[in-house]
Structure 1
Amino acid sequence: MLTMLEVLTIVVVGVMVGVEFCVAFVLNPILDRLPGDSGQLGRADGGRMLGAVMPVWYISSLVLVAIWAVAGWHDDGAGMVAGAGALLLVSVIMSVLLLVPINNLNKTWTPENRPADWKQQIKRWDRFHYVRVAVIVAAFVLLAAARM
């Protein structure tokens, strides 16, 4: 049963990492190169869609890691699982304190109502997101290593 939990956790966290990596290094750069207001409108739509899904995904990942850490406390790799859990907790705190406030604004913006500094706010979100991606990649690596 523990093996199934470990594999499920690695898959759930791994797919989340893949989505966030894609947003940072594929999707947002593509949106930023679109002409006119298309990129900003695409980011706003993405913020609405992913903003509804990602909180559940982040919390579910954290819960799965916590269950794994408790269930496998005496196994080799338990420290790595606990470390991954700590990193995922950091990513949730970063999200709530740094990224969500900007995203909540961005998802309501249109070319008619966006603030004058909208590009700077988007760049700030991107910088925070790069750090968050690094944190969740590190958590994923720890989980994969703990399973070896």
Structure 2
Amino acid sequence: MLNALEVVTTVVVGLLVGVEFSVAFIMNRILDALPEDSGQLGHAHGGRMLGAVMPFWYIGSVVLVGIWAAAGWDDHGTGLVVTAGGLLVLSVVMSILLLVPINNRNKTWTPENRPADWKEQLNRWGRWHYLRVAVIVAAFALLVTALA
């Protein structure tokens, strides 16, 4: 049963990493290259769509890692799992404090109501997002290492 939990947790966190990596290095670049207001509208739509799913995914990942750490407390890789859990908690805190406030503003913007500094705000979100991706990649790497 523990083996199944380890695999499921690793897959869930790995998919989270893949989506967030894609947003950072693929989707944002595609949206930024679109003409006129299309990119900003795409960012707003993405913020609404992913903003509805990601809280459950992030919190679910933390919960799964916590269960793994508790269930496998005597295993050799538990320190790695606990550290990965700490990094995932850090990513949730970063999200709540740094990224969500910008995303909540962005998802309501249209070309008619967006603020003058909207590009600067999206760029700030992007910089924080790169850091969050690095944090969750590190957590994922620790989970994979704990499996080995």
Aligned to 1:106: 106
- Per-residue CA shift, 1:42-76, capped at 9, x if unaligned? 00000000000000000000000000000001101
Counterpart CA distance in 2 for 1:74 and 1:15 is 27
User: Matches of 2:133 and 2:41 in 1, distance apart?
Assistant: 23
- Alpha-carbon distance, 1:15 to partner: 0.2
What percent identity do the matched residue pairs reach?
72
Please state whether the residue corresponding to 1:35 is helix, strand or coil: coil
Q: Note the 1:78-117 alignment, pairs <5 A.
A: 78-117=78-117
Determine if the alignment matches structure 1 residue 11 to structure 2 residue 5: no
- Could you tell me which amino acid in structure 2 is paired with residue 14 of structure 1? G
- Which 5+ residue runs of structure 2 have no aligned equivalent? none
Instruction: Return the alpha-carbon distance in structure 1 between the equivalents of residues 126 and 29 of structure 2.
Output: 10
Residue number in structure 2 paired with 1:54: 54
1:82-136 Cα shifts (integer Å, max 9, x gaps): 0000000000000000000000000000000000000000000000000000000
Aligned residues, how many? 148
Q: State the match for 1:140 in structure 2.
A: 140
Instruction: Give the Cα separation in 2 of the matches to 1:107 and 1:30.
Output: 18
CA distance in structure 1 between the partners assigned to 2:72 and 2:38 by the alignment: 48
Structure 1: gaps spanning 5 or more residues: none
Paired residue for 2:29? 29
Q: Give me the TM-score of the superposition, normalised by structure 2.
A: 1.00
What secondary structure does 1:110 align onto? coil
Amino acid at match of 2:122: I
Which whole-Å CA distance do the structure 1 matches of 2:97 and 2:118 have between them? 19
Report the secondary structure of 1:130's partner residue: helix
> Shift of residue 38 of structure 1?
0.2
